[in-house]
Amino acid sequence: MTGDDFDWLSTSALGEAACVTMVKTADVDAVVRGFGGIAREARTIPFAEAGNDLEEAYAIAVCRRGEYVVAIEVNGFQGSRPEVLRRVSRLGETVSTFWNINALTRFSYAVDGRIKTAFEAGAHSWKNGEDPDCLAPLLAEIDWEAGHWRTGLLLLAARLTGQPFTEDWLSGDVLVAPIAEHLEDVHPVTPGFEPLEYQHPVLAAALHRAEDEPLLTVARAAVDEVVAAAGLTGVPGGGIEFDELVRMARYEAGASRYGGYAPDADRLRLLALDAVRALETAPNPLTAAFKTIDAAKLAKQLDCLDPAPMLAGFLDLVGNPPAPSGADGARAGTGGPLERHAWIADHWLGLAASITYARGVPLDTVAAAFGGIAVGAGPVSLTDTPQVALRREGDWTIAIAFNRSPFAHEIVDALRSHTTVLNVGWETRGNKLAYYAQPGHDVAVIRPGQGDVPASLASHTTSLPAPAGNTAVWLLALGEAVTGIAFTPEGLDAHHTLLRPG
């Protein structure tokens, strides 16, 4: 069998986006339940007539093929979810292949309620699971060249199961059932990737540094806010029965996750139920606080209310600590350029920052480029409102902003007619890049580790190691190579002119 055996796929109903899950069992009804199918609304029809059903938000077509029960989703993804794979693989060995029109893919292999491995299409893609490399020999035999990712997934599934997905699987009768999706796992907070860290960084920083009991106090207060907004009383919590209540509430509202398609009244109710569940099932107090605050903030927005007073109250509950400022205990390293700047990885500026260096121009010129309004003086500090801190060091003016400035390229463009200017910026969950320009020259852009180094920066990067690990470290090392100035934590404690950018 080769990938050519799946050429029929491109002209089928599954060509653009689908998920095909094979479960080694004879129990069709149990597979439907494992997917969250609503048995009372299921019906048996020819697959050729199932188009409208399968184009609904979530539905599956299920049939027996040899030793397997096969669940087919058109433009669906439930079979790629860990929450589903754990359930259906308790019935038997499970293989799932998923692809969509945006070239996102997923191959999953689960046994006995445990995900052994899951990965994107490709021999060298990152894998997770209990035994990530368990399929390595089979993976190595597949053609993963561009244009072969869908057929590669199905070929891998066929070689693993001995049951190739053939075109005739789409003929004959199937059991079609709508899905009330199983609730997603409450995953631990991932530092650097939580919306609250960028939208309300002072509160987020306080939560990260708080003890467990204050975090739980905040989480309970956030739940109270959402429950009150929804007008609910006597909301139960915990256990399988509560999860089923939440799951069916979402389904009946025509909603999923945070009820994106539900009327506002239903959305508030769903938010309240989700907040209660997050408080009950979060793996740790920090996660409970982040998840419930997100729900409380969204509830205020649905009610067209400003969440700021509520968020200030949450900050009070964790002791209203001062915002991180200056060096915050960090110290510059010794050794090479990467070692000297490694401190940024654990500093509060490591989350997201924009650093602009302008040579030989007055501080006022740089301030004007930001359209800034002076708001004071002091060290660089974390704020919820946009702020730029400027200081002179040697022949350079340095401008520091928390969060990556969305208009960094405009700042460089405004200053390059006056002087040499460099901007380095990063965001943990987004772009990491540098802009560089000299008078009379175009702006050069460098993305560390991606593509060729622009000629204007080549002489500055030859002394630097290749980018590896935390990109912010390398970008600060580039700043030192261009300007001769090491960006030290002690420098953040120095006197800065503070601006609110226009």
Chain segment 237-249, per-residue pLDDT in tens:
767 788 888 888 8
CA distance 99 to 107: 9
How far apart, in whole angstroms, are the C-alpha atoms of residue 324 and residue 275?
29
Exposure b/e, 430-461, CB count within 10 A at least 16 = b: eebbbbbbeeeeebbbbebeeeebeebbeebb
Say which DSSP state 79 is in: G
Whether the Cβ atoms of residue 215 and residue 285 lie closer than 8 Å to each other:
yes
Ranking 77-86, 170-179, 256-265, 326-335 by mean pLDDT, the lowest is 256-265
Q: Is the pLDDT of residue 54 over 90?
A: no
Q: Which helix (H) or strand (E) holds 278?
A: helix 264-281
How far is residue 204's CA from residue 200's CA, in Å, rounded to a whole number? 6
Q: Is the pLDDT of residue 117 over 90?
A: yes
pLDDT band at 259 (very low <50, low <70, confident <90, very high): very low
The reported pLDDT for the residue numbered 393 is: 95
Instruction: Tell me the β-bridge partners of 118.
Output: 108, 128
What integer pLDDT is reported at residue 256 of this predicted model? 57
Token pair of 45 as six digits: 């029809």
Which of 145-154, 253-262, 338-347, 468-477 is most confident? 338-347
Q: How confident is the model at residue 436 (pLDDT cuts 50, 70, 90)?
A: very high
DSSP letter for 465, please. P
3-state secondary structure of 127: strand
Mean pLDDT of 19-27: 97
The sheet that has 432-437: what strands, in order across it?
373-378, 496-500, 388-393, 396-402, 352-359, 421-427, 432-437, 444-446
Residue-wise pLDDT tens digits, 440-450: 888 999 998 88
291 closest CA partner among 174, 410, 207: 207
Alpha-carbon distance 316 to 224, whole Å?
A: 16
Q: What is the DSSP pairing of strand 114-119 with strand 59-65? A: unpaired
d(CA 207, CA 215): 7
Q: Is 57's pLDDT higher than 80?
A: no
Distance of CA 154 to CAs 6, 95, 143, 150, 151, Å? Answer: 8, 10, 11, 7, 5
Nearest CA to 119 among 140, 97, 150?
Answer: 97
Q: Rounded distance, CA 321 to CA 214, Å?
A: 12
Q: pLDDT confidence of 255, banded at 50, 70, 90? A: low
Residue 427 predicted with pLDDT over 50: yes
Instruction: Label residue 38 by pLDDT band (50, 70, 90).
Output: very high
Q: Look up the pTM and report it.
A: 0.86
Q: What is the CA radius of gyration of the chain?
A: 27
CA distance 182 to 315: 33
CB 381 within 8 A of CB 321: no
Please report where in the chains the tokens 């350079």 appear, as a residue: 396
150: closest CA among 122, 109, 186, 117? Answer: 122
- Per the CB < 8 A criterion, the answer to whether 413 and 437 are in contact is yes
The helix or strand, by DSSP H or E, that contains position 72, with its residue range, turns out to be: strand 68-74
